[in-house]
Amino acid sequence: MSIDFSAKRLSYEKDELIETNAPNTPYPLLQTWIHDAVAEQIGEAYAFSLATCGADMRPSVRTLLMREIVPVGDDIQMIFYSNYDSQKGQDLVDNPFAEALFFWASLERQVRASGRVVKLSDEKSESYYQSRPKDSQLAAWVSRPQSGVVDSRAVMEQGFLDYTAQFGESIPKPKFWGGYCLMVDKIEFWQGRANRMHDRLVYTKQGDTWSRQRLLP
Ligand SMILES: Cc1cc2nc3c(=O)[nH]c(=O)nc-3n(C[C@H](O)[C@H](O)[C@H](O)COP(=O)(O)O)c2cc1C
């Protein structure tokens, strides 16, 4: 039996996104929307989907946790952490451009941010790694290479025990693990509206300045 959602429909009526209420540069709006998502107590409001496309030209997407969003002048840098030897890591070597997507259903909002992804400095990655719980630090060692095939759960559990015994209290950051920074040069804000007449404002960076346009829904 198929899974049929074709009769399911919601009307989005919570808010609007109108030029007169939108800033000229995107960071203040992003800050407001993230703040709203956190205040709404959306589970993992800072979880996002990262789309990449490597040399095989097959787009791939996965959920990650956003760790920091940094305004640099009028620019936006988005920081997240992963395994450099994973599939996404290889995709980003092949093609450094990626897109991050947040969807906050209860706010009827979506944000898409794209641009070039660069690796964070080893110092910054180290400092974040050392702030993580020890179990997460060990799991980074076990997941080597992330996205590689493993024979069984038992192999992973044994790896966890082995690394626990090997490192004791002080667990070094693996070289293959660290941060990425998405240097946003395009970011779209989508606010659901009634009758599928949604609001979409996209900010695009040209040279040093942001321009803003409305897109058809
Ligand atoms: C809620 C959630 C949060 C996640 N956060 C991260 C993360 O911050 N970093 C990470 O490497 N993987 C994270 N993952 C796992 C990724 O979705 C993915 O399985 C993993 O990174 C391997 O992806 P890849 O094979 O495309 O490289 C998370 C998964 C979920 C569901």
> Quick check: CB of 180 below 6 Å from ligand 1?
no
What does the pLDDT read at residue 49?
98
Tokens of 135: 């179990």
Do residues 177 and 117 touch, judged by C-beta distance below 8 A?
no
> Quick check: CB of 44 below 6 Å from ligand 1?
yes
The overall average pLDDT reported for the chain is 97
Tokens of 184: 């946003």
Pairwise CA distance, residues 102 & 69, whole Å: 13
Pairwise CA distance, residues 61 & 57, whole Å: 13
Over the stretch 18-74, which tens digit does the pLDDT of each residue have?
999 999 999 999 999 999 999 999 999 999 999 999 999 999 999 999 999 999 999
What does the pLDDT read at residue 156?
97
| CATH code that applies to domain 19-122+177-214 | 2.30.110.10
Higher pLDDT, 144 or 84: 84
Please count the other Cβ atoms lying within 10 Å of the Cβ belonging to residue 10: 8
Pairwise CA distance, residues 139 & 146, whole Å: 10
Question: Which residue stretches of 10-152 are H helix?
Answer: 27-39, 87-94, 122-131, 134-142
What does the pLDDT read at residue 103?
98
Which candidate in 153, 193, 196, 212 is catalytic? 196
Percent of the chain residues past pLDDT 90, beyond the cut: 98
Candidates 82, 90, 181: which one to mutate for ligand 1, based on the most atoms within 8 Å of Cβ? 82
> Quick check: CB of 25 below 6 Å from ligand 1?
no
Over the stretch 93-102, which tens digit does the pLDDT of each residue have?
999 999 999 9
Distance 147 CA to ligand 1 centre (A): 10
Pairwise CA distance, residues 195 & 189, whole Å: 18
Return the domain boundaries, the chain.
Answer: 19-122+177-214
Do residues 190 and 200 touch, judged by C-beta distance below 8 A?
yes
Q: How many angstroms separate the most distant Cα atoms in the chain?
A: 60
Do residues 142 and 160 touch, judged by C-beta distance below 8 A?
yes
Q: Is the pLDDT of residue 143 over 90?
A: yes
